[in-house]
Structure 1
Amino acid sequence: MKLTALAGLAAAVTLLVTGCGGPEQADQVQTADGVVFDLSPAQEGRVRVAKVDEIAALVPQPIRDRGTLVVTGSSNTTPPLRFYATDDKTVVGSEIDFAQLVADVLGLELDIQVADWSNNFVRVDSGEVDVFISNVTVTEERKEKYDFATYRQDNVALEVPAEGGLEYKDRTSLAGRRIGVGTGTNQEQLLVRWNEQNLAEGLAPIEIAYYQQTSDYYLALASGRLDGYIGPNPSAVYHSTTTKESRIVATFSGAGEQLQGEIAVLTRKDNGLIGPIHAALQHVIADGSYRKVIDRWSLQSEALPASRINPPGLPKKQP
């Protein structure tokens, strides 16, 4: 079976780390600091919890009758967030584990689906899916249409080639540089805003390069076609520590300089789900199962002490 570029990379890194070539070992990757990630479809270490009847009773009756929580998300992200396992078809990662905790508490079977980033919002709008769980940042613009229940801090990283010359002091360091970013993400919004501020100060423009596929920006970084890439910090840490092809030179809040961004479960506004989802997240934070997922995927720097509904988010673009 043909593996994705990610799965192939995982297998190659594992062989380098372990020094032996058993096929079963391709299911694990070890980072430079000894953290081992499970990339297998089986996910035997996934954290599960029991149904909580009083929280499950808050779920809208049509969803309870159906018995499933339909969760959409992107397919082109990287470990440890949401990615294809080594069978090239099973979606796994921390975002799936958080979704599983919520579904368990609500007494629902988890139905994981995949779509392109922008199409995930369309599917929520239409009611085709219940929630969007895929490293989604709370923004003021999104809050006009959607409800949010937070479960992680939102931190993004500037990743550069391992041998690259870019050193970061502040946004002015990016003037005249070619910087990659994902289309339609909050990272794009941050980068566009920094470019506008640089231009207002008479600096050279940032050349913004847009990417949809993780493998494409990996290749661009490795070949030097990008001076840097701004993406989720957990993925940047994973990539830089497992491949040695890149390094992280700066990290930022995903909501900008004045606000710590937060990652959240997204639902259509006022569809009755955000209350029980928030209660489920509060429950798993209190009982320790949330922390087990955080530790399993090495997300300690992004743990939250409590979930919040619709907190302040990334400000709207200025007119």
Structure 2
Amino acid sequence: MDERTGRTAGMTGPGTHAGRTGSPTEAFVAHRNLLFTVAYEMLGSAADAEDVLQETWLRWADVDHDAVRDPRAFLVRITTRQALTRLRTLRRRKESYIGPWLPEPLLTAPDVAEDIELADSVSMAMLLVMETLAPTERAVFVLREVFDLGYDEIAQAVEKTPAAVRQIAHRARAHVAARRPREVVSPAETRGVLAAFQQAVETGDLQRLLDMIAPDVVLLTDGGGVVRAALEPVVGAGTVVDVLSRLVSATLQPAQVNGHPALILRRDGRIDTVLAVRLENGLVAGLYAVRNPEKLSRIDRETAIGR
């Protein structure tokens, strides 16, 4: 496929035009939330996803729009290829990252939780599972399982044959299924646990914290070498509660982060940490604390995502 002309099998034909969605600018704007979400789910970084969108726009602006039959599919294709290129660079960067790496948290609108599949796909736990996929596997998984694209469309996006994409999708699906959280937890249950968790932290009730945390709980803290954070996963209820006991001086605020209930911690009015949780059997089994200031720049405003 030639990204300058947009000509590829199944994408061109007499009388076709990107104008079906309006002007090229209108087409891009109409699909922007989708494109951002594709890039974010592939990269786990809003800042990098925005860079990918900028590259997508530059390439889209240079396309022969008279030759494009389906602007949405074409834009997804450009975004996927740009994200794949950046993902390979990010993987090298993460190898030298100081301490645990966590996805950049996003403050999301309440209605994101209503789309259960979308909310699940952008959750901290799922994004970490997707980190274990190879770049092409991750792209195929996101496009197929989250956005329900056809194998032919995905094949054009990742430059593989449809048969190869089917095999990659099967392998990625099995890989994710073996590692993803097995229990579906309602937002209401998560909010209830977080409310009790918040009260226990604010009152310094360590026994109550112990009662709501799984014995083998794992706490991941991402400071990026910029702020204080554990350089290894913190494992075990007693050790984790000891860490949490230091949060008494912080102000905790409930929020909707990555489609799920979470807590934003502030110190002296400034955002210090975003804390997300994973529940199993009604107990907190995983805690994800993002403290790297570079990853908290967007958390004070909603980020629009969509399919």
Q: Does TM-score exceed 0.5, indicating one fold?
A: no
Which structure: greater helix fraction? 2
* TM-score normalized with structure 2 length: 0.28
Rg (Cα) greater in structure = 2
* TM-score normalized with structure 1 length: 0.27
